[in-house]
Structure 1
Amino acid sequence: MKALLALPALIAAAPLPAQDQGIEATAVAEAAAPLTDAQMEAAGAVDAFMAAIGSDDKTLLARHMDPRGTIFIHNRMDAANPRVDVVPVAQHLERWAARTGDYEEVMEYDVVRVEGDMAQVWGPYSFRYNGGLTHCGINSISLVRGADGWKVANTSFSMVPPAQCAEVGADWEAAR
Protein backbone atom coordinates (compact mmCIF):
# COMPACT_ATOMS: atom_id res chain seq x y z
CA MET A 1 0.00 0.00 0.00
CA LYS A 2 1.39 3.37 -1.00
CA ALA A 3 0.47 4.90 2.36
CA LEU A 4 2.71 2.44 4.20
CA LEU A 5 5.54 3.04 1.75
CA ALA A 6 5.21 6.79 2.19
CA LEU A 7 6.66 6.78 5.71
CA PRO A 8 10.24 5.85 4.69
CA ALA A 9 10.03 8.38 1.86
CA LEU A 10 8.85 11.01 4.33
CA ILE A 11 11.84 10.36 6.57
CA ALA A 12 14.34 10.42 3.68
CA ALA A 13 12.99 13.48 1.83
CA ALA A 14 15.53 15.82 0.25
CA PRO A 15 15.55 19.55 1.09
CA LEU A 16 13.56 21.87 -1.17
CA PRO A 17 15.11 24.86 -2.96
CA ALA A 18 15.17 28.05 -0.91
CA GLN A 19 12.32 29.67 -2.86
CA ASP A 20 9.86 26.89 -1.89
CA GLN A 21 8.11 27.82 1.33
CA GLY A 22 4.97 26.94 3.25
CA ILE A 23 3.63 23.41 3.65
CA GLU A 24 6.36 21.84 1.52
CA ALA A 25 9.07 23.44 3.63
CA THR A 26 7.31 22.27 6.79
CA ALA A 27 7.08 18.72 5.44
CA VAL A 28 10.80 18.64 4.67
CA ALA A 29 11.68 19.99 8.11
CA GLU A 30 9.52 17.31 9.72
CA ALA A 31 10.90 14.65 7.39
CA ALA A 32 14.46 15.28 8.53
CA ALA A 33 13.72 13.69 11.90
CA PRO A 34 12.41 10.15 12.41
CA LEU A 35 8.71 9.93 13.16
CA THR A 36 7.83 9.71 16.82
CA ASP A 37 5.77 6.85 18.24
CA ALA A 38 2.74 9.18 18.35
CA GLN A 39 3.22 10.12 14.69
CA MET A 40 3.56 6.45 13.76
CA GLU A 41 0.29 5.70 15.61
CA ALA A 42 -1.53 8.51 13.80
CA ALA A 43 -0.13 7.39 10.44
CA GLY A 44 -1.19 3.84 11.29
CA ALA A 45 -4.75 5.07 11.87
CA VAL A 46 -4.74 6.64 8.40
CA ASP A 47 -3.34 3.37 6.98
CA ALA A 48 -6.32 1.55 8.55
CA PHE A 49 -8.71 4.19 7.18
CA MET A 50 -7.27 3.75 3.66
CA ALA A 51 -7.51 -0.04 3.96
CA ALA A 52 -11.17 0.31 5.00
CA ILE A 53 -11.87 2.33 1.85
CA GLY A 54 -10.57 -0.58 -0.22
CA SER A 55 -12.28 -3.26 1.83
CA ASP A 56 -15.20 -5.33 0.59
CA ASP A 57 -16.71 -4.77 4.07
CA LYS A 58 -18.45 -1.42 3.55
CA THR A 59 -19.21 -1.16 7.29
CA LEU A 60 -15.49 -1.18 8.16
CA LEU A 61 -15.05 2.50 7.33
CA ALA A 62 -17.38 3.44 10.21
CA ARG A 63 -14.91 1.93 12.70
CA HIS A 64 -12.27 4.41 11.59
CA MET A 65 -14.33 7.61 11.51
CA ASP A 66 -16.02 9.75 14.14
CA PRO A 67 -19.65 10.11 12.97
CA ARG A 68 -19.78 13.63 14.42
CA GLY A 69 -17.15 14.86 11.94
CA THR A 70 -17.41 16.78 8.71
CA ILE A 71 -16.01 16.24 5.23
CA PHE A 72 -15.15 19.23 3.02
CA ILE A 73 -14.73 18.35 -0.66
CA HIS A 74 -12.87 21.01 -2.66
CA ASN A 75 -14.06 19.84 -6.06
CA ARG A 76 -12.05 21.22 -9.00
CA MET A 77 -13.04 18.52 -11.47
CA ASP A 78 -14.62 21.24 -13.65
CA ALA A 79 -12.13 24.13 -13.67
CA ALA A 80 -14.85 26.55 -14.78
CA ASN A 81 -17.08 25.59 -11.86
CA PRO A 82 -15.06 24.79 -8.72
CA ARG A 83 -17.12 24.18 -5.60
CA VAL A 84 -16.86 23.11 -1.98
CA ASP A 85 -19.29 20.43 -0.87
CA VAL A 86 -19.83 19.78 2.84
CA VAL A 87 -20.94 16.33 3.97
CA PRO A 88 -21.47 15.22 7.58
CA VAL A 89 -19.49 12.04 8.27
CA ALA A 90 -22.64 10.26 9.53
CA GLN A 91 -24.33 10.91 6.18
CA HIS A 92 -21.21 9.80 4.27
CA LEU A 93 -21.09 6.55 6.23
CA GLU A 94 -24.72 5.80 5.42
CA ARG A 95 -24.02 6.34 1.71
CA TRP A 96 -20.78 4.36 1.89
CA ALA A 97 -22.46 1.29 3.37
CA ALA A 98 -24.80 1.17 0.36
CA ARG A 99 -22.06 1.53 -2.29
CA THR A 100 -21.09 -1.21 -4.68
CA GLY A 101 -17.91 -1.60 -6.70
CA ASP A 102 -14.22 -1.68 -5.90
CA TYR A 103 -12.53 1.36 -4.41
CA GLU A 104 -8.85 2.09 -3.89
CA GLU A 105 -7.36 5.22 -2.38
CA VAL A 106 -3.59 5.60 -2.25
CA MET A 107 -2.02 8.39 -0.20
CA GLU A 108 1.48 9.59 0.55
CA TYR A 109 2.01 11.29 3.89
CA ASP A 110 3.87 14.57 3.47
CA VAL A 111 3.06 15.86 6.97
CA VAL A 112 2.20 13.95 10.13
CA ARG A 113 1.72 16.20 13.18
CA VAL A 114 0.53 15.21 16.63
CA GLU A 115 -0.38 17.43 19.56
CA GLY A 116 -1.81 15.49 22.48
CA ASP A 117 -5.02 13.83 21.36
CA MET A 118 -5.21 15.53 17.95
CA ALA A 119 -3.27 14.78 14.80
CA GLN A 120 -3.09 15.97 11.22
CA VAL A 121 -1.99 13.89 8.24
CA TRP A 122 -1.59 15.71 4.93
CA GLY A 123 -0.55 14.54 1.48
CA PRO A 124 -1.44 13.71 -2.11
CA TYR A 125 -3.76 10.86 -3.00
CA SER A 126 -5.24 9.06 -5.99
CA PHE A 127 -8.65 7.43 -6.13
CA ARG A 128 -9.75 4.50 -8.28
CA TYR A 129 -13.20 3.04 -8.82
CA ASN A 130 -13.45 -0.43 -10.38
CA GLY A 131 -9.80 -0.13 -11.41
CA GLY A 132 -10.16 3.18 -13.25
CA LEU A 133 -8.54 6.37 -12.01
CA THR A 134 -11.33 8.85 -11.26
CA HIS A 135 -9.43 11.71 -9.59
CA CYS A 136 -6.50 12.80 -7.45
CA GLY A 137 -5.96 15.54 -4.91
CA ILE A 138 -4.62 16.48 -1.52
CA ASN A 139 -6.00 14.92 1.68
CA SER A 140 -6.00 16.86 4.92
CA ILE A 141 -7.07 14.34 7.55
CA SER A 142 -7.72 15.42 11.15
CA LEU A 143 -7.65 12.68 13.74
CA VAL A 144 -8.81 12.59 17.33
CA ARG A 145 -7.61 10.04 19.90
CA GLY A 146 -10.19 8.64 22.27
CA ALA A 147 -10.48 5.60 24.52
CA ASP A 148 -10.62 3.33 21.46
CA GLY A 149 -7.65 4.91 19.68
CA TRP A 150 -7.28 7.31 16.75
CA LYS A 151 -10.25 8.04 14.48
CA VAL A 152 -10.68 10.30 11.48
CA ALA A 153 -12.70 13.23 12.81
CA ASN A 154 -12.73 15.71 9.95
CA THR A 155 -11.28 15.65 6.49
CA SER A 156 -10.82 18.17 3.73
CA PHE A 157 -9.69 17.05 0.32
CA SER A 158 -9.28 18.48 -3.11
CA MET A 159 -10.40 16.67 -6.26
CA VAL A 160 -8.75 17.24 -9.63
CA PRO A 161 -9.09 15.31 -12.92
CA PRO A 162 -6.64 12.45 -13.61
CA ALA A 163 -4.67 14.64 -16.03
CA GLN A 164 -3.67 16.83 -13.04
CA CYS A 165 -2.52 14.03 -10.70
CA ALA A 166 1.17 14.90 -11.02
CA GLU A 167 0.41 18.57 -10.34
CA VAL A 168 -0.98 17.72 -6.88
CA GLY A 169 1.83 15.28 -6.11
CA ALA A 170 0.18 11.97 -7.03
CA ASP A 171 2.93 11.37 -9.57
CA TRP A 172 2.87 7.58 -9.03
CA GLU A 173 -0.22 7.44 -11.24
CA ALA A 174 1.85 8.28 -14.33
CA ALA A 175 3.71 4.96 -13.84
CA ARG A 176 0.54 2.84 -13.55
Structure 2
Amino acid sequence: MNKLLILLSLLLVQCAFAQDAAIRKTVDTFFEGLHTADTLKMQSVCSDKLVLHTVYEKGGSNVLVAETTEGFYKSIAEIPAGLQIEERLLSFKVTSDGVMANAWTPYEFYINGKLSHSGVNSFSLYNDNGQWKIVYIIDTRKKP
Protein backbone atom coordinates (compact mmCIF):
# COMPACT_ATOMS: atom_id res chain seq x y z
CA MET A 1 0.00 0.00 0.00
CA ASN A 2 2.82 2.42 0.86
CA LYS A 3 4.54 1.70 -2.47
CA LEU A 4 1.32 2.46 -4.35
CA LEU A 5 0.90 5.73 -2.46
CA ILE A 6 4.49 6.74 -3.22
CA LEU A 7 4.07 5.84 -6.90
CA LEU A 8 0.87 7.89 -7.17
CA SER A 9 2.56 10.84 -5.46
CA LEU A 10 5.48 10.68 -7.88
CA LEU A 11 3.12 10.55 -10.86
CA LEU A 12 1.23 13.60 -9.62
CA VAL A 13 4.46 15.55 -9.12
CA GLN A 14 5.67 14.54 -12.60
CA CYS A 15 2.37 15.69 -14.17
CA ALA A 16 2.61 19.03 -12.35
CA PHE A 17 6.17 19.58 -13.58
CA ALA A 18 5.17 18.68 -17.15
CA GLN A 19 2.23 21.10 -17.00
CA ASP A 20 4.43 23.89 -15.60
CA ALA A 21 6.97 23.25 -18.37
CA ALA A 22 4.26 23.52 -21.03
CA ILE A 23 3.01 26.78 -19.53
CA ARG A 24 6.59 28.10 -19.40
CA LYS A 25 7.10 27.11 -23.06
CA THR A 26 3.98 29.09 -24.04
CA VAL A 27 5.26 32.24 -22.32
CA ASP A 28 8.78 31.70 -23.71
CA THR A 29 7.34 31.44 -27.24
CA PHE A 30 5.47 34.70 -26.67
CA PHE A 31 8.74 36.43 -25.75
CA GLU A 32 10.66 34.83 -28.63
CA GLY A 33 8.11 36.48 -30.90
CA LEU A 34 8.37 39.78 -29.03
CA HIS A 35 12.16 39.88 -29.26
CA THR A 36 12.11 39.21 -33.02
CA ALA A 37 8.98 41.29 -33.76
CA ASP A 38 7.29 38.09 -35.00
CA THR A 39 3.64 38.76 -34.25
CA LEU A 40 2.56 35.50 -35.88
CA LYS A 41 4.66 33.58 -33.36
CA MET A 42 3.14 35.61 -30.55
CA GLN A 43 -0.38 35.04 -31.85
CA SER A 44 0.27 31.29 -32.05
CA VAL A 45 0.26 31.11 -28.23
CA CYS A 46 -2.41 33.77 -27.58
CA SER A 47 -6.16 33.45 -27.59
CA ASP A 48 -7.99 35.45 -30.24
CA LYS A 49 -9.79 36.98 -27.22
CA LEU A 50 -6.54 38.25 -25.64
CA VAL A 51 -6.98 41.15 -23.18
CA LEU A 52 -4.09 43.52 -22.32
CA HIS A 53 -3.67 45.96 -19.44
CA THR A 54 -0.78 47.99 -18.03
CA VAL A 55 -0.50 49.65 -14.63
CA TYR A 56 1.91 52.50 -13.97
CA GLU A 57 2.28 55.48 -11.67
CA LYS A 58 1.74 59.00 -12.99
CA GLY A 59 1.70 62.10 -10.85
CA GLY A 60 1.37 60.11 -7.64
CA SER A 61 -1.62 58.11 -8.88
CA ASN A 62 -1.87 54.60 -10.28
CA VAL A 63 -3.13 54.47 -13.85
CA LEU A 64 -4.70 51.43 -15.56
CA VAL A 65 -4.46 51.42 -19.34
CA ALA A 66 -6.18 48.94 -21.67
CA GLU A 67 -4.60 48.16 -25.02
CA THR A 68 -6.31 46.57 -28.00
CA THR A 69 -4.76 43.41 -29.37
CA GLU A 70 -4.67 44.98 -32.83
CA GLY A 71 -2.77 48.00 -31.52
CA PHE A 72 -0.41 45.79 -29.52
CA TYR A 73 0.49 43.53 -32.46
CA LYS A 74 0.81 46.55 -34.75
CA SER A 75 3.24 48.25 -32.34
CA ILE A 76 5.37 45.09 -32.23
CA ALA A 77 5.35 44.69 -36.01
CA GLU A 78 6.45 48.32 -36.44
CA ILE A 79 9.57 48.02 -34.25
CA PRO A 80 12.39 49.43 -36.42
CA ALA A 81 14.86 46.80 -37.67
CA GLY A 82 17.82 48.41 -35.88
CA LEU A 83 16.08 48.65 -32.51
CA GLN A 84 16.83 45.75 -30.17
CA ILE A 85 14.33 45.05 -27.42
CA GLU A 86 14.73 42.45 -24.72
CA GLU A 87 12.51 41.60 -21.80
CA ARG A 88 14.54 39.67 -19.23
CA LEU A 89 12.46 37.53 -16.92
CA LEU A 90 13.92 37.58 -13.42
CA SER A 91 11.85 34.66 -12.12
CA PHE A 92 8.91 32.52 -13.16
CA LYS A 93 6.14 31.26 -10.88
CA VAL A 94 3.26 29.12 -12.12
CA THR A 95 0.01 28.34 -10.36
CA SER A 96 -2.56 26.16 -12.08
CA ASP A 97 -5.79 24.24 -11.75
CA GLY A 98 -5.57 21.84 -14.68
CA VAL A 99 -7.38 23.95 -17.27
CA MET A 100 -6.43 27.41 -16.04
CA ALA A 101 -3.05 28.80 -15.01
CA ASN A 102 -1.24 31.97 -14.07
CA ALA A 103 2.40 32.81 -14.69
CA TRP A 104 3.96 35.58 -12.57
CA THR A 105 7.14 36.97 -14.10
CA PRO A 106 9.08 39.93 -12.68
CA TYR A 107 11.11 41.49 -15.50
CA GLU A 108 13.52 44.14 -16.72
CA PHE A 109 12.97 45.68 -20.17
CA TYR A 110 15.97 46.78 -22.22
CA ILE A 111 16.15 48.86 -25.40
CA ASN A 112 19.45 48.56 -27.26
CA GLY A 113 21.02 47.13 -24.09
CA LYS A 114 19.89 49.99 -21.82
CA LEU A 115 17.39 49.44 -19.02
CA SER A 116 14.13 51.19 -19.95
CA HIS A 117 11.81 50.00 -17.18
CA SER A 118 10.99 47.06 -14.94
CA GLY A 119 7.93 45.50 -13.36
CA VAL A 120 5.90 42.32 -13.19
CA ASN A 121 3.89 40.48 -15.83
CA SER A 122 0.89 38.37 -14.91
CA PHE A 123 -0.22 35.96 -17.64
CA SER A 124 -3.54 34.15 -17.40
CA LEU A 125 -3.72 31.05 -19.56
CA TYR A 126 -6.21 28.31 -20.34
CA ASN A 127 -5.72 24.84 -21.73
CA ASP A 128 -7.28 24.75 -25.19
CA ASN A 129 -7.51 21.02 -25.88
CA GLY A 130 -3.92 20.33 -24.87
CA GLN A 131 -2.35 23.66 -25.91
CA TRP A 132 -1.87 26.46 -23.39
CA LYS A 133 -3.12 29.83 -24.66
CA ILE A 134 -2.58 33.25 -23.13
CA VAL A 135 -5.91 35.02 -22.57
CA TYR A 136 -4.89 37.92 -20.35
CA ILE A 137 -1.73 39.91 -19.74
CA ILE A 138 -1.41 42.64 -17.16
CA ASP A 139 1.92 44.25 -16.36
CA THR A 140 3.36 46.96 -14.18
CA ARG A 141 5.95 49.44 -15.45
CA LYS A 142 8.38 51.33 -13.25
CA LYS A 143 11.11 53.67 -14.46
CA PRO A 144 14.59 53.02 -13.04
Classify 1:59/1:110 alpha carbon distance in 2 versus 1 (closer, same or farther; 3 Å).
closer
Unpaired runs of at least 5, structure 1: 1-32, 163-176
| Matched residue, 1:132 | 114
- Alignment counterpart, residue 93 of structure 1, candidates 70, 73, 91: 73
Using the size of structure 2 for normalisation, the TM-score is 0.76
In the TM superposition, residue 59 of structure 1 has moved relative to its aligned partner by: 3.6
Using the size of structure 1 for normalisation, the TM-score is 0.64
**Aligned-residue RMSD, C-alpha:** 2.2
Identity, % of aligned pairs? 21
Q: Which has the higher strand share?
A: 2
Query: Residue 118 in 1 paired to residue 72 in 2?
Result: no
- Larger radius of gyration between Structure 1 and Structure 2: 2
In the TM superposition, residue 97 of structure 1 has moved relative to its aligned partner by: 1.6
Amino acid at match of 2:34: I
| 1:1-176 equivalences in 2 (<5 Å) | 36-76=17-57, 78=58, 80-100=60-80, 101-147=83-129, 149-162=131-144
Residue deviations 1:118-175, cap 9 Å, x none? 210003111112222110001111112224722221011100012xxxxxxxxxxxxx
Unpaired runs of at least 5, structure 2: 1-12
2:37 and 2:79 in contact (8 A); partners too:
no
Residues 42-51 or 102-111, more deviating:
102-111
Classify 1:58/1:69 alpha carbon distance in 2 versus 1 (closer, same or farther; 3 Å).
closer
Distance 1:160 1:132 in 2: 14
In the TM superposition, residue 60 of structure 1 has moved relative to its aligned partner by: 2.5
